Structure 1
Amino acid sequence: MDRYEGFREFVNARQQALMRTAYLLTGDAHLAEDLLQTAFTKVFRHWAKLAREGNPEAYTRRCLINEFVSWRRQRRWHAELSSARPPDAGRTGGENDALHRIALRHALGRLAPRQRAVIVLRFYEDRSVQETAELLGCSTGTVKSQTSHALDRLRAQAPELAGLLSDADPVHQEVTR
C-alpha cells in the first residue's frame, strides 16, 4: 500500500474550499496559491499519519493559518493593492454588495494576522468558537476576545459596513441599541 494513497483525492476534493480560505487570509490570488501550496507540502510530509489517525482538513487549515501568520511576521508583508476594477465586478448582487465586498476586503487587510484569521474562520467559514480555537491552537476566550477586537477595529476602519458588522456580533448590537 502506498503511504500517500488518498492524498491526491484529498487535494482534488478540498482544494477549492481551502483556496478560498487562503485568498481571504492573503487578499491576493497569487499569494493564496503559494500559501496553499506550502500547506499542501506540509500535509504531504505527514500524510500517512494524517490519513490513518488524523483530520487532514483541520491540519491543512491550521498549516494555512500558521504559515500566513509566519509570512506576515517575517516579511512585514502587506500585499493588498487597490485596483480600478474590483474582482467581483462581473457578479450580480447590486452595486452596494460590490462596494461592501471591496470595503470589507480592504478593512480585513488592515487587521493583525490572528484577528484576520479569527474573522475568516468564524464568519466566512462559519466555524464555532471551539472549532476556531482548535484550528488556531488557542483558548476559546482568546477567540472571543480576538473576534471582539477585530470587529471593533473593522467598525472603526470601515463605518460603511456597520450594518453587516452588527449582524456578525449580536452582543455589540444589543449594547449599541
Structure 2
Amino acid sequence: MYVPFNQLPASARVWIYQANRPFTAAEIAAVQPALQQFAQEWTSHGRTLAASAEILHGQFLVIGLDEAVADASGCSIDASVRFVRGLEEGLDIQLLDKAQLAFLLGDQVQLLDRLSVRKAVAEGQVQPTTPYFDNTISTVGELQQKWPAPAHTTWLARYFAAAATPLA
C-alpha cells in the first residue's frame, strides 16, 4: 500500500539509491507514477507493505518501508532491486553503482569518486563541514536528521584525522 513519503514514521526503513547524474524534471515527472505504483503493489509473502518511494535532492531514489506494518523479505527486497534496475534501463541512469560519493556543495549535489576522497580532503576540496550524503543510513529519522551530515561526523572522519596528521 502506498504511503506518502512524509507520512512514514521515523522508524521506517529506507534504501537509498544514488544516481550517477541528476534526474531531469521531465524524468522525475515521468517516474512519479511508477514509484507510487511500485509502493502500492510491493508485497512480502503475500502481505501488503506500507511503502513509499521518492526522488530526493534531484539525485537520489529513496524507498521507504514502515516495518511496523510488515517486514520486507528477501524476495520483496529482490523485487525492489528489480524495480530499480528497470528504472536504470528505462532512464539510462545508474542507481546501483557505489563507486561515487555525494556531497552538497552550495545547493548542488557533487559526486566524487570513492578512490579520490583522500586527495580531495588533503587539497581542501572536501572540508570537515561539507555536507555528505551517507547512503548507508537505514531509517527515515536518520534521513531527516543526518542526511546530509557534516562529513567529519560520518565514516569520512578518518580522512580528516589522517589529513591533520603530519607525514614523517
TM-score after normalising by structure 2 = 0.33
TM-score after normalising by structure 1 = 0.32
The answer to which structure has the higher helix fraction is 1
